[in-house]
Chain A
Amino acid sequence: GQNIDQPTEMTATEGAIVQINCTYQTSGFNGLFWYQQHAGEAPTFLSYNVLDGLEEKGRFSSFLSRSKGYSYLLLKELQMKDSASYLCAREDDKIIFGKGTRLHILP
């Protein structure tokens, strides 16, 4: 995706915490989405941040810094079912997706 960077792959251990970072171009920025996509399935919505700060939803939290063009998705108490790709998507007058971060969970 243009102007959006996130790591290609990450590995973490069941029960641990992992942080997936996303950086983006700040001009015209309106908001930042995170989606989860399991292999062979459709993306599903996780979170949307428009203001600076941390938004918590159960085991998942998402953080945004508008001035730095930076967001992260924090996953706590990792479970095997969290093995998936995580897509960062930047909204201005359209929505542009990053290439996604494939997260592998080890037992």
Chain B
Amino acid sequence: DAGITQSPRHKVTETGTPVTLRCHQTENHRYMYWYRQDPGHGLRLIHYSYGVKDTDKGEVSDGYSVSRSKTEDFLLTLESATSSQTSVYFCAISESTRDRGGRWPVNQPQHFGDGTRLSIL
């Protein structure tokens, strides 16, 4: 299994509070991703990173920010959590075999962490 650790695994918090989720990898993979998964919507990309300090938005990035100061860590922050952000959050990593101008890798599958179940009351 790919070495991916998400923390915390579960969190309950109140609306309006800041929340930070951490993804840590031991594979030295270039690409890291944050997804949320909700019933009826499937997996949706929030943000991704293609290198240290290099990040970009996904399809549902509003209300979220990310940071990647080291290869191994990718942080997802909800500055002021809302009930609509209650979800299961997955981190994923992938290796790059072709550099298409710093964009997406090809032919390399993503490996997922075990997920963080976040409840915002």
Check if B22 is an interface residue, CB within 8 A of chain A. Answer: no
Check if A2 is an interface residue, CB within 8 A of chain B. Answer: yes
Q: How far is the CB of B89 from chain A (nearest CB, A)?
A: 11
Count of B interface residues, CB-CB < 8 Å? 23
Of A95, A96, A99, the contact of B40 (CB 8 Å cutoff): A99
The contact size tier of chain A is 20 to 34
Check if A31 is an interface residue, CB within 8 A of chain B. Answer: yes
Looking at chain B's contact residues, the main secondary structure is loop
Find out whether the CB atom of B58 lies under 8 angstroms from the CB atom of A94: yes
Q: A30-B106, A41-B114, A42-B113 are in contact. Are A1 and B90 (CB under 8 A)?
A: no
Interface 0/1 of B97-114, CB less than 8 Å to A: 000100110110111111
Find out whether the CB atom of B45 lies under 8 angstroms from the CB atom of A95: yes
Instruction: Give me 10 other A-B pairs in contact (C-beta within 8 A), A97-B42, A98-B42 excluded.
Output: A2-B59, A41-B115, A42-B113, A42-B114, A44-B112, A93-B100, A95-B104, A96-B45, A96-B59, A97-B44
Can you offer 28 A-B residue contacts whose CB atoms are under 8 A? A1-B43, A1-B44, A30-B106, A31-B106, A33-B109, A42-B113, A42-B114, A42-B115, A43-B43, A43-B90, A43-B112, A45-B109, A45-B111, A48-B107, A48-B109, A50-B107, A87-B43, A91-B104, A91-B106, A93-B103, A94-B45, A94-B58, A96-B45, A97-B35, A97-B42, A97-B43, A97-B44, A99-B42
